[in-house]
Chains A and B, each alone.
Chain A
Amino acid sequence: MRFQHSDSWFLSTSLCRWAPGNDSEPPKFIPPSKPVIIDKTQAVATLRKFLSPEFIPPRQRTNPLKFSMERKDMIRRRKILNVPEFYPGSILAVSMADPNATGKINRFVGICIQRGGKGLGATFVLRNIINQQGVEICYELYNPRIQKIEVLKLEKRLDDNLMYLRDALPEYSTVDPDMKPVPFPPTGEVPLNELKVKMRPKPWSKRWERPKFNIQGIHFDLCLVPKQMEHAQKWAQPWQEYDMLKEYDTSKLEQQILSEVQQEMSK
């Protein structure tokens, strides 16, 4: 009796691994469960509360209906094309449909120098140096020719406008076109790159040392004498900081538009 029990017990444990009723036929192969691949490089929807600057309407004497209609169209376009969060100083890759390139897609990689325009005409300029030639392309965010916008490296710089990179040494504007996307976490602060750029000898395209541009990201000590810096301060306009008519507080407007946009996008 004991033998029988032990035999059946032994048999049952071994039979567990195979499919039932398989004494004479070869055991059926059950493939192992497929591994779940979590693609960390794919753009996870940012959990940061970020409102693209082109949503904030400028202070004008126009009917707010115009801005709300524009926002509707912008959201419609954003549902089709995923426009990720990026800042001037981030490295982007843009794929554009080109009628002259025989149906092929034209891909350009570069640093975002400037984000301009409001509403549907919002633009961003990408700069790169290819074969020792500096190239800049101004892309419209909501242009239907744009197929894909990828953020290869999300970064902020000390300034909003990096036009001074035209007069900086070429190493600061070169971006490898085959660069792999650097993974960034969807939560937390955007990394700030406190790089101080070295400039070519003067003359520059604009007098970047003047306080009108308020540039923090150039290493002025290497290219300018303190006397020249003081001379540049002659063009300072310290009263503009106290000008009340130039005040434009967008915090409440931003929160309202952000909640509106998030509601519409989730529909």
Chain B
Amino acid sequence: MALPRLSRSFTGLLVETSCLIHQRTFRVSTVAAAIQKLTRVRVVDNSSLGNTPYHRSPRVIHVYTKNGIGKVGDKVLLAIKGQKKKALIIGHKMPGECMTPRFDSNNVVLIEDNGNPTGTRIKVPIPTQLRKMEGDYSKVLAIASSFV
């Protein structure tokens, strides 16, 4: 008498857990927006800090602009592997002005305080509007392999 009840409750539990397993999908925000605080970002150069795996992805903690929104060519502060590091935004998912490229991921290049890049090569294509800032980031442009 007790057994069928137990078996029913067990089956109920199993069904619930299997439902939970199926429902535990990772929700990613679908809205493509410019880079702001707490955006997860993809480091695109070949520096060791950017490419070694960590249990948390690199996130933006501060954007160095008047409003807190970062577009191509803006400096940001990242939190990578428990350290703070400055970086330069190379491309974002948000559509910019016409005739400028829109990338499928928010790309970023690690930078020192004086503007020198940490890595030695950037494989990903870079928008040509970055060439306007020749003076500040000429070294970043020098390590880029292709322009879009």
Q: Which residues of A pack against B, CB within 8 Å?
A: 96, 98, 100-102, 106, 108, 123, 130-140, 143, 145, 166, 202-203, 205-206
Given contacts A100-B132, A203-B27, A205-B30, are A135 and B146 in contact (CB under 8 A)?
A: no
Cβ-defined contact, A137 with B147, below 8 A: no
Name the prevailing secondary structure of the B interface residues: loop
| Given A133-B107, A135-B104, 18 extra CB contacts under 8 A | A96-B99, A102-B131, A130-B146, A130-B148, A131-B146, A132-B124, A133-B104, A133-B105, A135-B102, A135-B103, A135-B125, A136-B102, A137-B100, A137-B148, A138-B98, A139-B99, A143-B98, A205-B30
Number of A-B contacts (CB under 8 A): 71
Instruction: Chain B residues near A108: list those with CB within 8 A.
Output: 148
Instruction: Chain A residues near B102: list those with CB within 8 A.
Output: 135-138
A123 to B130, CA, bound (A): 24
Cβ of B17 < 8 Å from any Cβ of A? Answer: no
A203 to B28, CA, bound (A): 7
Cβ of B101 < 8 Å from any Cβ of A? Answer: yes
A137 to B95, CA, bound (A): 9
A-B contact pairs, 10 of them (CB 8 A): A101-B128, A106-B128, A132-B124, A135-B103, A135-B104, A138-B95, A138-B99, A139-B99, A203-B26, A203-B27
Cβ of B123 < 8 Å from any Cβ of A? Answer: yes
Instruction: Chain B residues near A131: list those with CB within 8 A.
Output: 123-125, 145-146
Q: Which residues of B pack against A, CB within 8 Å?
A: 25-28, 30, 32, 95, 98-105, 107, 123-125, 128-132, 145-148
A172 to B47, CA, bound (A): 31
**Cross-chain contact of B128 among A100, A130, A139 (Cβ < 8 A):** A100
Shortest C-beta distance, A64 to chain B (Å), equals: 27
In the complex, the chain B residue whose C-beta lies closest to that of A206 is B30
